[in-house]
Amino acid sequence: MVVIVLKVVASALVVLTTTAIGFSIARRYRDRPRHLRQLQSALQSLATEISYGATPLPEAFASLASSQPAPTDAMFRAAAISLRKPGTTAAEAWQVGLERLLQESAVSIDDLAVIRQLGAVLGLSDRRDQERHLLLVVQHLQREEVRAEHERLQNERMWRYLGVLSGLLIVIVLV
Protein backbone atom coordinates (compact mmCIF):
# COMPACT_ATOMS: atom_id res chain seq x y z
CA MET A 1 0.00 0.00 0.00
CA VAL A 2 2.73 2.38 1.06
CA VAL A 3 4.73 1.41 -2.01
CA ILE A 4 1.84 2.23 -4.34
CA VAL A 5 1.32 5.63 -2.74
CA LEU A 6 5.05 6.34 -3.01
CA LYS A 7 5.03 5.33 -6.68
CA VAL A 8 2.08 7.59 -7.45
CA VAL A 9 3.66 10.55 -5.67
CA ALA A 10 7.02 10.06 -7.38
CA SER A 11 5.38 9.67 -10.81
CA ALA A 12 3.40 12.87 -10.26
CA LEU A 13 6.62 14.66 -9.28
CA VAL A 14 8.44 13.49 -12.41
CA VAL A 15 5.57 14.52 -14.70
CA LEU A 16 5.23 17.88 -12.94
CA THR A 17 8.96 18.59 -13.26
CA THR A 18 9.21 17.84 -16.96
CA THR A 19 5.98 19.76 -17.60
CA ALA A 20 7.41 22.78 -15.80
CA ILE A 21 10.63 22.54 -17.83
CA GLY A 22 8.68 22.30 -21.09
CA PHE A 23 6.46 25.25 -20.21
CA SER A 24 9.38 27.43 -19.17
CA ILE A 25 11.13 26.80 -22.49
CA ALA A 26 7.86 27.50 -24.31
CA ARG A 27 7.52 30.76 -22.38
CA ARG A 28 10.83 32.01 -23.75
CA TYR A 29 9.52 31.48 -27.28
CA ARG A 30 6.23 33.17 -26.40
CA ASP A 31 7.81 36.20 -24.72
CA ARG A 32 10.56 36.95 -27.25
CA PRO A 33 8.41 38.65 -29.95
CA ARG A 34 6.63 40.72 -27.30
CA HIS A 35 9.87 41.84 -25.68
CA LEU A 36 11.36 42.71 -29.06
CA ARG A 37 8.27 44.82 -29.79
CA GLN A 38 8.62 46.60 -26.45
CA LEU A 39 12.28 47.23 -27.13
CA GLN A 40 11.40 48.81 -30.48
CA SER A 41 8.93 51.21 -28.94
CA ALA A 42 11.40 52.04 -26.18
CA LEU A 43 14.14 52.85 -28.68
CA GLN A 44 11.70 54.92 -30.71
CA SER A 45 10.82 56.89 -27.58
CA LEU A 46 14.52 57.37 -26.93
CA ALA A 47 14.96 58.65 -30.48
CA THR A 48 12.14 61.11 -29.93
CA GLU A 49 13.57 62.25 -26.61
CA ILE A 50 16.94 62.86 -28.22
CA SER A 51 15.90 64.47 -31.48
CA TYR A 52 12.88 66.58 -30.45
CA GLY A 53 13.27 66.99 -26.70
CA ALA A 54 17.06 67.27 -26.73
CA THR A 55 16.89 65.61 -23.31
CA PRO A 56 20.21 64.80 -21.63
CA LEU A 57 20.91 61.06 -21.60
CA PRO A 58 20.52 60.44 -17.81
CA GLU A 59 17.14 62.15 -17.78
CA ALA A 60 16.03 60.37 -20.95
CA PHE A 61 16.96 57.01 -19.42
CA ALA A 62 15.15 57.87 -16.19
CA SER A 63 11.98 58.93 -17.96
CA LEU A 64 12.02 55.77 -20.09
CA ALA A 65 12.54 53.69 -16.95
CA SER A 66 9.32 55.06 -15.52
CA SER A 67 7.28 54.96 -18.73
CA GLN A 68 8.18 51.57 -20.25
CA PRO A 69 6.46 48.25 -19.39
CA ALA A 70 7.96 45.45 -17.32
CA PRO A 71 11.16 43.95 -18.74
CA THR A 72 12.35 46.98 -20.69
CA ASP A 73 12.11 49.44 -17.81
CA ALA A 74 14.70 47.49 -15.80
CA MET A 75 17.24 48.01 -18.57
CA PHE A 76 16.84 51.79 -18.59
CA ARG A 77 16.72 51.95 -14.80
CA ALA A 78 20.03 50.07 -14.57
CA ALA A 79 21.54 52.29 -17.27
CA ALA A 80 20.32 55.48 -15.57
CA ILE A 81 21.71 54.42 -12.18
CA SER A 82 25.01 53.43 -13.72
CA LEU A 83 25.21 56.69 -15.66
CA ARG A 84 24.68 58.70 -12.49
CA LYS A 85 27.95 57.42 -11.03
CA PRO A 86 30.77 59.85 -11.78
CA GLY A 87 33.20 58.80 -14.48
CA THR A 88 30.86 56.42 -16.31
CA THR A 89 30.60 56.82 -20.06
CA ALA A 90 27.33 56.39 -21.93
CA ALA A 91 28.69 53.24 -23.61
CA GLU A 92 29.45 51.63 -20.23
CA ALA A 93 26.02 52.52 -18.85
CA TRP A 94 24.40 51.16 -22.01
CA GLN A 95 26.33 47.92 -21.56
CA VAL A 96 25.11 47.61 -17.96
CA GLY A 97 21.54 48.16 -19.13
CA LEU A 98 21.85 45.50 -21.82
CA GLU A 99 23.20 42.94 -19.39
CA ARG A 100 20.21 43.66 -17.19
CA LEU A 101 17.89 43.21 -20.15
CA LEU A 102 19.48 39.87 -20.98
CA GLN A 103 18.72 38.64 -17.45
CA GLU A 104 15.18 39.96 -17.27
CA SER A 105 13.75 39.31 -20.71
CA ALA A 106 13.60 36.59 -23.36
CA VAL A 107 15.67 38.42 -25.98
CA SER A 108 18.74 36.56 -27.21
CA ILE A 109 22.39 37.58 -27.27
CA ASP A 110 22.22 37.94 -31.06
CA ASP A 111 19.44 40.52 -30.71
CA LEU A 112 21.59 42.53 -28.32
CA ALA A 113 24.67 42.56 -30.55
CA VAL A 114 23.18 45.25 -32.76
CA ILE A 115 21.83 47.27 -29.86
CA ARG A 116 25.22 47.16 -28.16
CA GLN A 117 26.77 49.18 -30.98
CA LEU A 118 24.38 52.00 -30.14
CA GLY A 119 26.37 52.61 -26.98
CA ALA A 120 29.20 54.01 -29.05
CA VAL A 121 26.87 56.53 -30.64
CA LEU A 122 24.62 57.62 -27.78
CA GLY A 123 25.49 60.97 -26.32
CA LEU A 124 28.51 61.43 -28.55
CA SER A 125 27.33 62.52 -31.99
CA ASP A 126 24.74 65.10 -33.01
CA ARG A 127 21.00 64.62 -32.69
CA ARG A 128 20.24 63.65 -36.26
CA ASP A 129 23.00 61.08 -36.32
CA GLN A 130 21.83 59.48 -33.06
CA GLU A 131 18.25 59.41 -34.28
CA ARG A 132 19.30 57.78 -37.53
CA HIS A 133 21.23 55.08 -35.70
CA LEU A 134 18.33 54.41 -33.33
CA LEU A 135 15.82 54.08 -36.14
CA LEU A 136 18.17 51.76 -38.02
CA VAL A 137 18.33 49.48 -35.00
CA VAL A 138 14.53 49.63 -34.69
CA GLN A 139 14.23 48.44 -38.29
CA HIS A 140 16.60 45.59 -37.55
CA LEU A 141 14.53 44.64 -34.50
CA GLN A 142 11.39 44.63 -36.64
CA ARG A 143 12.92 42.03 -38.95
CA GLU A 144 14.08 40.08 -35.92
CA GLU A 145 10.58 40.22 -34.46
CA VAL A 146 9.03 38.70 -37.58
CA ARG A 147 11.53 35.87 -37.34
CA ALA A 148 10.87 35.40 -33.64
CA GLU A 149 7.14 35.21 -34.30
CA HIS A 150 7.76 32.52 -36.88
CA GLU A 151 9.89 30.58 -34.42
CA ARG A 152 7.20 30.95 -31.78
CA LEU A 153 4.55 29.38 -34.00
CA GLN A 154 6.91 26.53 -34.73
CA ASN A 155 8.22 25.80 -31.26
CA GLU A 156 5.91 27.01 -28.50
CA ARG A 157 3.29 24.29 -28.67
CA MET A 158 5.89 21.63 -29.41
CA TRP A 159 7.84 22.32 -26.21
CA ARG A 160 4.66 22.19 -24.12
CA TYR A 161 3.64 18.79 -25.45
CA LEU A 162 7.22 17.60 -25.29
CA GLY A 163 7.46 18.40 -21.58
CA VAL A 164 4.26 16.59 -20.59
CA LEU A 165 4.77 13.59 -22.84
CA SER A 166 8.42 13.02 -21.98
CA GLY A 167 7.42 12.98 -18.29
CA LEU A 168 4.79 10.35 -19.03
CA LEU A 169 7.35 8.39 -21.03
CA ILE A 170 9.84 8.35 -18.15
CA VAL A 171 7.12 7.25 -15.72
CA ILE A 172 5.98 4.44 -18.04
CA VAL A 173 9.54 3.17 -18.47
CA LEU A 174 10.34 3.25 -14.75
CA VAL A 175 7.10 1.85 -13.31
Partner 1 sequence: MGINYAVILQVAVFGLIVAVLHTILEKSGREEYAQVLVLLGVIVVMFTVIRWMNDLFSTIRAMFQF
Q: How many C-beta atoms lie closer than 10 Å to residue 31's C-beta?
A: 17
Query: What is the per-residue binding string for partner 1 in 35-64, x denoting contact by CB under 8 A?
Result: ------------------------------
8 binds partner 1 (CB under 8 A): no
Question: In terms of CB distance, is 14 or 158 closer to partner 1?
Answer: 158
Please state the closest distance from residue 106 (CB atom) to partner 1, in A: 19
11 binds partner 1 (CB under 8 A): no
Window contacting partner 1 (CB under 8 A); options: 46-54, 81-89, 102-110, 166-174 = 166-174
Q: Which of residues 138-157 bind partner 1 (CB under 8 A)?
A: 154-155, 157
How many residues bind partner 1 (CB under 8 A)? The answer is: 13
17 binds partner 1 (CB under 8 A): no
Instruction: State the first-to-last Cα distance of the chain, in angstroms, to the nearest integer.
Output: 15
Q: Provide CB contacts within 8 A for 97, sequence distance 6+.
A: 61, 75, 76, 78, 79, 82
The runs of H, that is alpha helices, within the chain are: 2-48, 57-67, 70-84, 90-104, 109-118, 127-174
Inter-CA distances, 169 with 9, 11, 15, 66, 128, Å: 16, 10, 9, 47, 59
Please state the closest distance from residue 147 (CB atom) to partner 1, in A: 15
Binding residues for partner 1, rule: CB under 8 A, are: 154-155, 157-158, 161-162, 165-166, 168-169, 172-173, 175
